Amino acid sequence: MKNVLVLNCGSSSVKYELMNVENSRVLARGLVEKIGMEDAVVNHHYLKGEDYSDVKLVKNILTHREGIRIVVGLLTDAEVGVVGDLADIYGIGHRVVHGGEAYTDPAYVTQEVKDDIKKCIELAPLHNPHHLAGIEACDSLIPDHHQVVVFDTAFHQTMPKKAYIYGLPYEMYKKYGIRRYGFHGTSHQYVAQKAAQIYKKRITDLKIISCHLGNGASVCAIKDGKSIDTSMGFTPLPGLVMGTRTGDIDPYIVLYLMNKDALSFAEVNTLLNRHSGLYGLSGISRDFRQIIKEVKKGDERARLAVDIFVYRIKHYIGAYTAIMNGLDILVFTAGIGENSIELREMVCSNMEYLGINLDEKKNREFNSQEAVISKDDSEIKVMCIPTNEELLIATETARVIDGMKKS
C-alpha cells in the first residue's frame, strides 16, 4: 500500500493527512494548533473500520518537531492509529509556498532543495521557515523516509515573461527577483485536471479559468494544461479583494499614506494584509457567510464589499478569456467558490455575451461533489469542483519517489 503523509506546516500549526494514493482513501487527517503554547490542541480524525472517529488532545507543544512527533505517534498508535508501523508510510509530501524560479515541478528533498527553500524565505517569510521546520523535523524523527516538496508557485512557472515581469526597471527583476510568482498553484492545477476529466477532453486541448475563492483568493488562466497568468503576484496580496487583503491597488496609495499618516512599515503591512479586503470594506467580518447575512438585512457596506469582490472576479474572467482567445471551462473552488450559491450566481450573471449560461437549479443543488452547473447549451461549461490540494500533493509525492527509485 502506498500511504503518503501530507504535511502543511504553518506558523503555529501542522495540518496533516495520511492517504493511500492507490485508492485516494484518507486514512487519517488532523490539525495541530497553537504550537508554541502550553495548551496546544491536536484534533485527530481517523478511519476505524468503515467510519471515521475523532480524538482530541490538549498538550504542551512548543515546536513543530514536537507536534510532528505526536502526529507520527497517533498514526501508529494501537488505539487511534491507522498503520501498523512507520514502514507502512511510503513517503512524506510537504506543501511549500515558495520555490522561487528554480522549481517548475515537485522535488525530492535533498540538502540543495532545503537550501533553496531557505533562500526563498525572503520572498515568503510567513510560510517558508515553518515548512523548513517541518522538513527538518521529519529528517530527525523519521530519517529513513523519503520526502518530497510540492511548491505553490511551481504550477505558475510556465507563465510567459510578458505575464510575470512588472513595469519596473528590469534590474529590479535581475537583482531582487521581483516578478509575479503566483500562488494557490496546487489548487489551480488540481481543479483544472479534474475539469478536463469531467469534460472528457485532454487538458492540453482546453482553455480553463480557475477561480480559487477562499479567505485568500486568486484566478488563474490555464491554456493547454499550463498556467499562463494568475492574479496573485510577487506576494499573495494583489488581484482579487480577499478576506482581509486589498487585492489590486494603485501602489502610490502606500506612499501617500506613509506620508499623510506617517505609517511605518509594520503599520502599512497590517493595513494591506489584515485590515483590508472584505473585512475593511464591510467593517463587519472577513467571513463571506457573515457578510452575505448582512447584505440580506440591507447593510450597504456589506453590499459594496460583495459587489467589489464579484466585479473583480468578472474583470479577471474577461481579461483571461481575452489573452487565451476563448474559454472552454470556468471553475469555482475553495470555501466561497464551493459553498456560495449567491456568489456563483452573481459572477455568472450578465455573462451571456461571453457564452456563460448558468443553470440556476444545478447551481442551487450543487452538493459538494464536482459538477457542471451551467445549462446544457452553455458555450462555456461552468463547474464547481471541491479543491483537494492534499490529494495532488500525495500523488505527486508518490510519483517522485517512484521515479527516484527507478533511476
Among 244, 339, 374, 397, binds ligand AMP (CB under 6 A): 339
With binding defined as CB under 6 A, does residue 42 bind ligand AMP?
A: no
| Interhelix angle 300-324/341-348, nearest 10 degrees | 50
When binding is defined by CB under 6 A, the residue of 181, 288, 320, 332 that contacts ligand AMP is 288
Q: Is 247 in the site for ligand AMP (CB under 6 A)?
A: no
Instruction: Work out the number of other CB atoms within 10 angstroms of the CB of residue 145.
Output: 18
Output the residue with the shortest Cβ distance to ligand AMP.
335
Residue 273, interface with ligand AMP (CB under 6 A)?
A: no
Q: At its nearest, how many Å lie between ligand AMP and the CB of residue 93?
A: 20
CA distance linking residue 19 with residue 16, whole number of Å: 10
Establish if 394 lies at the interface with ligand AMP (CB under 6 A). Answer: no
d(CA 150, CA 126): 17
The answer to whether residue 152 is catalytic is yes
Place of cell 459538494: 368
- Please choose, out of 36-44, 231-239, 336-344, 352-360, the segment that lies near ligand AMP by the rule CB under 6 A: 336-344
CB of 335 to ligand AMP, least distance (A): 2
The separation between the first and the last C-alpha atoms of the chain, rounded to the nearest angstrom, is: 21
Contact assessment for residue 237 and residue 216, using Cβ atoms and an 8 Å cutoff: no
| Near ligand AMP by CB under 6 A: residue from 335, 381, 383, 401 | 335
Q: Which of 39, 144, 152, 377 is catalytic?
A: 152
Q: Which of 10, 30, 67, 214 binds ligand AMP (CB under 6 A)?
A: 214
Least distance CB 160 / ligand AMP (angstroms): 29
Please enumerate, as own/partner, the contacts of 281-287 that have beta carbons within 8 Å and a separation of 24 or more: 281/241, 281/305, 281/308, 286/215, 286/243, 286/244, 287/243
Contact 173, 119 (CB under 8 A): no
Segment holding 35, helix H or strand E? none
Asked if 244 interacts with ligand AMP (CB under 6 A), we say no
Q: Which residue ranges make up the site for ligand AMP (CB under 6 A)?
A: 214-215, 243, 287-289, 334-336, 339-340
Give the active site residues.
152
